A and B are shown apart, each in its own frame.
Chain A
């Protein structure tokens, strides 16, 4: 049966409806609230508020921590993806299972588990105390937040890189060896450049959620460390200032869009779009 345009449209109707109600409308509301004041008059005040000392500090800290965790994720994920790509299928599904398994658990639960592990009187410190070793004091520090981000987002870096690695034709690698390149030259001149689309996708998929998170920073950073996500969340839930919250969200969206554009430029073939 040749699908005609009418059935196509009918089939996509549920999704379009969903998209309209849960994406378009909320987005419109964010822009409406972000660009108006309490009396409904147009203003840029809520957006410009990002320049305020406290907000700017939260934004830069967010960017710094997201970048740091993206870098850590990349450094961990690339070698892991290479190991996975070189394995035969039976070993490989086992390792993938180990990696994916935590992802089946709720994100909030996993982060709460880390809180319990890292706490001053938490599991890790109890063990260290039992072993007469100095306690670990990383809860409520940026390090704990980075740890949480890396833990939660690492699979999103591994999968697109793995995906682009298995697509590299083994004969292309052989050709490089054949033309005189040793293993290190082959990696840097051939394998890595061919997997850049996967790397860029991975970076996007880690950086964007890391930049906007407020749960990880709240649970592992205590109340001392405010990320831009926490600031926005507080404006909505505690201060009740939807206008300021929306204005700051718009600023954050600009950052995310920028990242997406870069990733789209590099990933023309859609190689990283497995997830």
Chain B
């Protein structure tokens, strides 16, 4: 495992008496693309601002490269931020914007000029030195904001929903651009977003947050395929979350039907939550399925058909390239590997957190 660069230790923060972060612990490694993902109000932006130094935690420590920087002002921290609405200096041209941090540090003119050229090349905006920020499109402004941050050679780049204001196509292009940038620069990116697709596309590690708590930390694959609780399953992608009973190891009863699965260690006859992704639900002839149902809705989505199947009192969401028209009787089958078993929330608090999504 790579070296730990940032450690957040027992961070708590409340605004106007409302707890936003509750004893949060998080380690961020060198050269990692880490995404804080969650719905608005989950504490992800506050976490980023605490790392950046714009918000000081009520309790806890921020450790950067082995040093406690909890009370260090933002200008003394070796990291830079790309803000949500770009936050360019509108009274300066592009070159002056990019040079801002370097001039503060009294770098030589040659050094600064070289850096401006290098940064503009890196973000594919060569020759824009004399333009004013207002004359640039949103995507271009965001690239300048990135250029302005990275010329300072930070060890960590903080990105606060940087693509939020861009349209879909541009957002997708910028996602690839950010991955490229991160690989070229070889620095740590900490990225905040509420967009699960963005998080899945770019991250090495995703931290799913809700109501001030970390719900799950893991790679995009782990988060998607093995969500630890109903909140994560529901927030990341579409899913069927069903009450079930774990009969014994590798056998679960879903809506009264017995499904083979691969999970063990849940005990016998224990109530659990089961997650099945809609693309993992196989529709077959009624007699071939484990349970039988009827197609109630059908929508063409381009890549696949989205269907809803009423079976044993549950409306199953199904994605399939094969079409079954409304009213068709079908059987449902699921590959044992695609059944993800999760513990039921134990306390009422956790329950509430899971439901309010």
Contact = CB atoms under 8 A, between A and B. Distances in A.
Interface stretch (A56-64, A91-99, A174-182, A245-253): A174-182
Interface string B252-282: 0000000000000000000000000000000
Nearest to B80: A178
B54 interface: yes
A193 interface: yes
Contacts of A179: 75, 80, 100-101, 104, 148-149, 152
Contacts of A182: 73, 75
Contacts of B104: 179-181, 185
B74 interface: yes
B74 A178 contact: yes
B103 to A, nearest CB: 9
Contacts of A106: none
A8 interface: no
A177 B80 contact: no
Contacts of A189: 100
B69 to A, nearest CB: 14
B87 interface: yes
Nearest to B98: A179
Given A169-B87, A179-B148, A194-B90, A174 B54 contact: yes
Contacts of B152: 179-180
A174 B152 CA distance: 16
A171 interface: yes
B74 A171 contact: no
B75 A174 contact: no
B87 A181 contact: no
A117 interface: no
A215 interface: no
Contacts of B101: 179-180
A174 B87 contact: yes
A80 interface: no
Interface size bracket, A side: 10 to 19
B85 interface: yes
B3 interface: no
B84 interface: yes
A113 interface: no
Contacts of B53: 177
Among B73, B75, B83: residue with most chain A CB under 10 A:
B75
Interface string B74-99: 11000011011101111100000000
Contacts of B84: 171
B220 interface: no
A231 interface: no
A172 interface: yes
A189 B96 CA distance: 11
A42 B100 CA distance: 59
B81 A178 contact: yes
Nearest to B74: A177
A171 to B, nearest CB: 4
A85 interface: no
A177 B73 contact: yes
A225 interface: no
A189 to B, nearest CB: 8
A182 B75 CA distance: 6
Contacts of B73: 177, 182
A72 interface: no
A175 to B, nearest CB: 4
B105 interface: yes
A190 interface: yes
A171 B87 CA distance: 6
Contact of A171 (B75, B85, B149): B85
A189 B149 CA distance: 17
Nearest to A192: B91
Contacts of B87: 169, 171-172, 174-175
A197 to B, nearest CB: 10
A193 B149 CA distance: 21
B153 to A, nearest CB: 12
Contacts of B145: 175
A175 B81 contact: yes
A194 B91 contact: yes
A169 B80 CA distance: 18
B105 A171 contact: no
A182 B74 CA distance: 9
A194 B105 CA distance: 22
Given A171-B85, A194-B91, A178 B100 contact: no
Listed from nearest, the 6 A-B pairs whose CB atoms lie closest are A179-B101, A171-B87, A175-B87, A177-B74, A180-B104, A171-B83
5 contacts: A175-B148, A178-B52, A179-B75, A179-B101, A194-B89
